[in-house]
Chains A and B, each alone.
Chain A
Amino acid sequence: MSESVVVHDGVDESKRTWIAITCGAGAVAVGATAVPFVSTFAPSERAKAAGAAVEVDIADLKIGEKKTVEWRGQPVWIVRRTPEQVAALSKDTAELADPDSKRNPDEQTPPYARNEHRSIKPEVLVVVGICTHLGCSPGDKFTAGAQPSLPADWPGGWLCPCHGSTFDLAGRVFKNKPAPDNLRVPPHMFLSDTRLLIGEDKKA
């Protein structure tokens, strides 16, 4: 055994190898131990389970009004737009960043809302009321016309208080604003004429 030991300047080279292997194995063990700790940062099973669909009765929602319901901890807005508001949606397209909801359609707009009014029924808009910039909830600015922080030809919509992004009444973002995407349309379906289910859409 002793003749196989290679010694340079008092350093036992054969032991170096073992030290390297031990350090490597130790590093692997430390890395593996870190995995469960880092994993605890992820959403818990309870948080994941809390995403159940929400049923809403919109029989009492008057024309021109908005209703807010909570789904997965986020505000979901249901707006019954006036016929004039729906008609106006085709006029402001030149000032919108993504009028046809082509950006990230899979995340932002389900197939049944990929139209000008971004909704199943033209008058009933369902969107998640969270700005796509940094997650504030925009404020209602439904009245058209000039007003503070808004342009003179304001068609009605939402203004985000945090960084000034503006959205029209279909939740479409205006150009040159910090928000990159249109407001998200959540998966939803009509259970009857006045009952909405938010969070689920049976594709049948």
Chain B
Amino acid sequence: MSEFKVAPANAPVGVKLLTWVDNRFPASKLWKEHLSEYYAPKNFNFWYFFGSLALLVLVIQIVTGIFLVMHYKPDAAQAFASVEYIMRDVPWGWLVRYMHSTGASAFFIVVYLHMFRGFLYGSYRKPRELVWIFGCAIFLCLMGEAFMGYLLPWGQMSYWGAQVIVNLFSAIPFVGPDLSLMIRGDYVVSDATLNRFFSFHVIAIPLILLGLVVAHVIALHEVGSNNPDGIEIKEKKDANGIPLDGIPFHPYYSVHDMVGVAGFLILFSAVVFFAPEMGGYFLESNNFIPADSLKTPLHIAPVWYFTPFYSMLRATTDDMLVVFRVLVAVAALLALWKGRFSALGKGVIIVASLVVLTGIGLFKFTGIPALAGCDAKFWGVLVMGGSVVILFFMPWLDQSPVKSIRYRPGWHKAVYAVFVVVFLVLGYLGIEPPDPLKTALSQVGTVLYFGFFLLMPWWSQMGTFKPVPDRVVFHAH
């Protein structure tokens, strides 16, 4: 505990009050540590807007959400009508609701760009592994939050989207069917499901989300921000122990971020006022029809931010399992041939690959039930889950000697470009109705997506790296 401070007798009331508070709560200390004396690298660029923008969108979602709950009814018989009531009868209700629905899409745009910044500059690398992991957990929470929130308007897309995603869990061997029953609380998606999703959407997940955001920021401020050069500014400090290339977050970046906020709000308002449905991508047209448990809309697709992962789910057919068998076998043989493992290590590789291959149905032809393996539905779920979970491992998958893309070989940029294109194409395919050509395309995309991550330990080390400067590259305006 710090010493009890006494303000001078002639100090202004404000100073006396702050001294009184500081003796009981670390107000000034927190302000300094996280704002006025938090030294961030001076060479932040455009990509560094998205962290503070994500925080802004979080605030927008919480505030608009609080007001929506005042009018919304979490009841299967009333939910759809209560949303229409908010849109038509509640004064300015349409604005609050459009801000919330647009905010959901904006959140994912901002978070995807924020994560891509991490990819570009190696922001997940040592010592920022936990910053990244907390961030990935936030992303998972956001996906859950978006999925459960989407059921609440109780439209056709809400209903059948929830039906499909909850049924994904039933693909898990042994516990699956009971698990999806416990999630729904009924034999079909029903009032019970709507009520519990409402509870999770407005209470449980936001609480976890806020906790994770605090952890994300505390971890970041402990290690300090990365920068476009991927250099540790703490290695070069002045006589006072302040990083030579650091500037206080407040006022420099608080003001800087205001520019980002203004730009963001212009775009956000444009969508809210002129294109809140965004041509069916932010609010799907089928969701303007009340949920009907007897009829699935002829074309159902998740909201755009889930479609890359959904494409990979759909790509996992029986044919795809054959591809997986070949890939796993090749990987295991390469590991045995090239990898320098002990006899025990080789044994582990052989046993593990045989277990996986059995699971993917390599020995299905024998007709022995125990060797039949799991069906494509289960692997599809695993592939979709794995495509998100793999992000958590980025700090260890990337073995490049430099952090920032600026000092990596030119062809690494091409690899990143291919990855971005694959992600966007998978996203497009997930919106489209299934057909053989598109399924084949999404299968190629799935292999490339996982190849990018799983082969990263090798490709990220290859090529000629450029020398990294001692100090950050900065040109004053």
Contacts and interface: CB of A to CB of B under 8 A. Distances in A.
B25 to A, nearest CB: 31
Interface residues of A, number: 31
Interface string A99-136: 00000000000000000000000000000010001111
A137 B375 CA distance: 21
B181 A43 contact: yes
A21 B317 CA distance: 51
Contacts of B314: 163, 178
Given A42-B185, A43-B186, A178 B298 contact: no
Contacts of A162: 160, 164, 296, 300
B376 A178 contact: yes
B385 interface: no
B435 to A, nearest CB: 6
B375 A135 contact: no
B258 to A, nearest CB: 45
Contacts of B190: 47, 73
Given A72-B187, A161-B297, A176 B318 contact: yes
Nearest to B180: A135
B294 A70 contact: yes
Interface residues of B, number: 37
A136 B300 contact: yes
Contacts of B164: 134-136, 162
A77 to B, nearest CB: 10
Contacts of B293: 70, 73-75
B163 A135 contact: yes
Contacts of A160: 296
Contacts of B168: 134
B192 A44 contact: yes
A161 B433 contact: yes
A43 B187 contact: yes
A134 B162 CA distance: 10
Contacts of B376: 178
B15 interface: no
Nearest to A74: B188
A183 B160 CA distance: 18
Contacts of A51: 187
A65 B396 CA distance: 60
Contacts of A74: 187-188, 293-294
Contact of B435 (A41, A70, A134, A149): A149
Interface string B230-256: 000000000000000000000000000
Interface string B272-304: 000000000000000000000111111110000
A139 B298 contact: yes
Contacts of B364: none
Given A41-B182, A75-B293, A176-B317, A161 B167 contact: no
Given A41-B196, A75-B294, A47 B185 contact: yes
Contacts of B317: 176-178
A103 to B, nearest CB: 10
A163 B429 CA distance: 12
Nearest to A175: B318
A73 B376 CA distance: 27
Nearest to A97: B318
B294 A137 contact: yes
Nearest to A38: B182
Given A162-B300, A163-B314, A42 B377 contact: no
Given A47-B185, A178-B377, A137 B319 contact: no
A138 B293 CA distance: 12
A160 to B, nearest CB: 8
Given A161-B296, A161-B433, A134 B167 contact: yes
A199 interface: no
A73 B196 CA distance: 18
21 contacts: A42-B182, A43-B181, A43-B186, A47-B192, A51-B187, A68-B294, A70-B293, A70-B294, A72-B188, A73-B187, A75-B293, A135-B164, A136-B300, A149-B434, A160-B296, A161-B298, A162-B164, A164-B433, A164-B439, A178-B317, A180-B377
Interface of A: 38, 41-44, 47, 51, 68, 70, 72-75, 129, 133-139, 149, 160-164, 176-178, 180
Given A136-B164, A161-B296, 4 more contacts: A134-B163, A134-B168, A134-B377, A163-B434
